[in-house]
């Protein structure tokens, strides 16, 4: 990421500083690690997946910056320090997000050693997961249903779009670049959907009972914003049970993969065991 992001010495300095402030801080890098691990799991050259992995992290960072803005969740802290609009201002935060989104597709297009047909598919998968059929659509549903009485199906749909789609895309992109066969791709799709679900349920639970210090942001934000979450609809215990089932389903989806898929197996367990 450090190598691929524009330098702070490039003009206009402030926007490059702002992009680096958010993109190079203490995030877990779950999505890019998934891309590299999925590529490795199908026997691909991991190095070839690095630009796309970084592109996905840029888009994820973009979503966090915009999510924290006053017109969205209005959060002052992210990853243990002031959110970008607090460290700079709203206009710079908006533009840094936009610039990270543009950079993401530039990184993919400039990838060396991967066929253009594959890069086109990578762009399609990532743009679908980011737009109204993915993250943006999920965020809009989330906003529309704030404060409403929601069903489990509605929460599932919000999670699938808002968080699950980009996590699944991260896995699929690794498979595409690694040259996955059709059956490997089906397995990766199953793995990706299930860990996307498990990840968001764990996120909902952490927002209720997590440690603020470890999370790097205030807990209780979902209750404050009257968000539709798994625990608010079915309680913490049942939510945790569904998350564990999803982890088991993710690991079972890739049961025919050899030991090169062990990182994917470890990540599946990590998404529900994590504390941040």
**Which residues in this chain contact ligand GRG in the complex, by CB under 6 A?**
27-28, 30, 59-60, 62-64, 66-67, 72, 79, 130, 135-136, 139, 162-163, 203
| Residue number with CB closer to ligand GRG (48 or 201) | 201
Query: For residues 104 and 179, what is the distance between their CA atoms, to the nearest angstrom?
Result: 21
CB 83 within 8 A of CB 65: yes
Phi, psi at residue 231, to the nearest 5°? -60, -30
Contact 75, 217 (CB under 8 A): yes
Other beta carbons within 10 angstroms of residue 211's beta carbon come to 11
Is residue 64 a contact partner of residue 22, using CB atoms and an 8 Å limit?
yes
Residue closer to ligand GRG (CB basis): 59 or 107 = 59
Residue placing its CB nearer to ligand GRG in the complex, 131 or 147? 131
Task: Could you list the beta-strand ranges (E) of 8-92.
Answer: 77-78, 81-82
- With residue 136 as reference, give the H or E element that holds it: helix 135-144
In the bound state with ligand GRG, the residue whose beta carbon lies nearer, of 79 and 260, is: 79
Joined together, the tokens standing for residue 257 give: 């993969």
Which residue of this chain has its Cβ atom nearest to ligand GRG in the complex? Answer: 27
CA atoms within 13 A on the CB side of 244: 6
Copy the structure tokens of residue 102. Answer: 């543009």
Q: For residues 59 and 114, which CB has a smaller minimum distance to ligand GRG in the complex? A: 59
Fill in the DSSP letter of residue 215.
H
Instruction: Report, in Å, the least distance between residue 86 CB and ligand GRG.
Output: 16
């Amino acid at each position: 990421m450090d190598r691929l992001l524009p330098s702070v010495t490039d003009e206009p300095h402030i926007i490059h500083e702002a992009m680096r402030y958010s993109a190079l801080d203490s995030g877990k890098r779950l999505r890019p690690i998934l891309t590299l691990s999925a590529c490795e799991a199908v026997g691909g050259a991991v190095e070839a997946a690095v630009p796309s992995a970084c592109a996905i992290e840029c888009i994820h960072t973009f979503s966090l910056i915009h999510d924290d803005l006053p017109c969205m969740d209005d959060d002052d802290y992210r990853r243990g320090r002031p959110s970008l609009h607090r460290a700079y201002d709203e206009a710079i935060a908006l533009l840094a997000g936009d610039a990270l989104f543009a950079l993401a597709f530039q990184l993919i297009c400039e990838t060396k050693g991967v066929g253009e047909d594959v890069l086109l598919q990578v762009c399609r998968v990532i743009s679908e997961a980011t737009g109204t059929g993915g993250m943006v659509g999920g965020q809009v549903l989330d906003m529309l249903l704030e404060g409403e009485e929601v069903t489990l199906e509605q929460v599932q749909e919000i999670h699938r779009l808002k968080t699950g789609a980009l996590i699944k895309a991260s896995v699929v992109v690794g498979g595409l670049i690694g040259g996955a066969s059709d059956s490997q791709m089906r397995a990766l799709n199953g793995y990706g959907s299930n860990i996307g679900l498990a990840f968001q349920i764990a996120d909902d639970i952490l927002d209720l009972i997590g440690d603020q210090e470890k999370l790097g942001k205030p807990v209780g934000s979902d209750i404050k914003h009257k968000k539709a979450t798994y625990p608010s609809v079915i309680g913490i215990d049942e939510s945790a049970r569904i998350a564990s089932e999803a982890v088991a389903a993710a690991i079972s989806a890739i049961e025919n993969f050899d030991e090169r898929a062990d990182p994917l197996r470890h990540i599946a367990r990590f998404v529900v065991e994590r504390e941040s």
